[in-house]
């Protein structure tokens, strides 16, 4: 049986699609067969983020309507032999697909992979419910901004109505310099407010929008790369540490870096 994990958020644009793509890549590198599913029906983001949008032959609607088998719709991501994308349909009315449809597709994928990561659309409308209904675990993504944290709180409350075995949190776009200067909420404060286990902290990274747009994962040995490795470890064994975004801004040289970053 595959682990079926929905990646969701209250506020839009907090990094769900980027996290699904990069976490999927890390889990697959660890030897797992991973399917990342784009459930943002009506838009296609995940195939772009994974660099496979030009290869799409079938999409999730073709699977739902029986025009192809699930395995035929899956697209292998270049450089990641164990990572596949199930693309969303971008021409269709997004209200056409319901939770039962998604659950059936997920059930069919269950036997052929170890992880199914579902990229949820923003908000708490139909798209949210149909994605969560097919999942068994949820990861809520927030940024360290009060509006995103407030929306994450709302989503965490809504998730209590579903039969999920776990709900955890990833804090994306964290900036150590701003956390140390008190201009950004700290990880401990977010933990305190949301009372949900944090399994990943991903730093703000200027290159990430470029890699997402170019259909690639974050570059090896960069700060986000290390953070995604820790997130994957946490998901795999539950014991991994969190990436500390403040460490490079501590001490004498850290204070200089902080000053330089502010000027940039």
Ligand X SMILES: Nc1ncnc2c1ncn2[C@@H]1O[C@H](COP(=O)(O)OP(=O)(O)OP(=O)(O)O)[C@@H](O)[C@H]1O
Q: Provide the minimum distance between the beta carbon of 247 and ligand X in the complex, in angstroms, as a whole number.
A: 17
In degrees and rounded to multiples of 5, residue 38 shows phi and psi of: -90, 105
Q: Which does 130 bind (CB under 5 to 8 A by kind): ligand X, Mg ion, none?
A: none
Q: Interface with ligand X includes 25 (CB under 6 A)?
A: no
Q: Which does 259 bind (CB under 5 to 8 A by kind): Mg ion, ligand X, none?
A: none
Q: Which does 13 bind (CB under 5 to 8 A by kind): ligand X, Mg ion, none?
A: ligand X
String of DSSP letters for 9-58: -SSTTSSHHHHHHHHHHHHHHTT--EEEEE--TTS--HHHHTT-GGG-S-
Q: Which is nearer to Mg ion, 45 or 142 (CB)?
A: 45
Q: Interface with ligand X includes 230 (CB under 6 A)?
A: no
| Pairing status of strand 80-86 against strand 75-77 | antiparallel
Report yes or no: 17 and 47 within 8 Å, Cβ to Cβ: no
Q: Interface with ligand X includes 16 (CB under 6 A)?
A: yes
Which of 184, 202, 232, 245 touches ligand X by CB under 6 A? 202
Candidates 6-14, 54-62, 66-74, 245-253; binding stretch for ligand X (CB under 6 A): 6-14
Q: Interface with ligand X includes 173 (CB under 6 A)?
A: yes
Q: Provide the minimum distance between the beta carbon of 250 and ligand X in the complex, in angstroms, as a whole number.
A: 20
Q: Residue 151 and residue 142: Cα distance in Å, rounded? A: 8
**CA neighbours closer than 13 Å in the CB half-sphere of residue 255:** 2
Q: Residue 83 and residue 35: Cα distance in Å, rounded? A: 6
37: helix, strand or coil: strand
Q: Residue 114 and residue 77: Cα distance in Å, rounded? A: 16
Q: Token pair of 25, please?
A: 């890549």
Q: Interface with ligand X includes 13 (CB under 6 A)?
A: yes
Which of 71, 104, 122, 164 touches ligand X by CB under 6 A? 122
Residues of this chain that interact with Mg ion (CB under 5 A) are 16-17, 45
Sites of contact with ligand X (CB under 6 A): 9, 12-18, 40, 45, 122, 172-173, 202, 204-205, 208-209, 212
């Amino acid at each position: 049986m595959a682990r079926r994990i929905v990646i969701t958020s209250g506020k839009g644009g907090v990094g769900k699609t980027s996290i699904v793509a990069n976490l999927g890549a890390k889990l697959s590198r660890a030897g797992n067969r991973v399917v990342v599913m784009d459930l943002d029906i009506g838009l296609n983001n995940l195939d772009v983020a994974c660099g496979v949008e030009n290869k799409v032959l079938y999409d999730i609607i073709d699977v739902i309507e029986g025009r192809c088998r699930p395995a035929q719709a899956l697209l292998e991501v270049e450089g990641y032999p164990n990572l596949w994308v199930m693309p969303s349909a971008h021409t269709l009315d997004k209200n056409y697909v319901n939770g039962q449809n998604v659950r059936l597709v997920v059930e069919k994928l269950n036997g052929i992979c170890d992880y199914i990561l579902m990229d949820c659309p923003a908000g708490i409308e139909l798209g949210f419910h149909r994605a969560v209904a097919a999942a068994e675990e949820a990861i809520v993504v927030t940024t360290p901004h009060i509006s995103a944290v407030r929306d994450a709180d709302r989503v965490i409350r809504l998730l209590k109505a579903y039969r999920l075995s776990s709900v955890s949190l990833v804090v994306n776009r964290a900036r150590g310099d701003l956390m140390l200067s008190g201009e950004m909420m700290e990880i401990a404060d977010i933990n305190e407010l949301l009372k949900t286990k944090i399994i990943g902290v991903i730093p703000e990274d200027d290159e990430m929008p470029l890699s997402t747009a170019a259909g690639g994962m974050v570059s090896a040995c960069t700060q986000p790369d290390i953070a995604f490795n820790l997130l994957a470890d946490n998901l795999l064994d539950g014991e991994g540490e969190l990436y500390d975004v403040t460490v490079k801004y501590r001490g004498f040289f850290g204070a200089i870096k902080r000053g330089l970053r502010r000027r940039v």
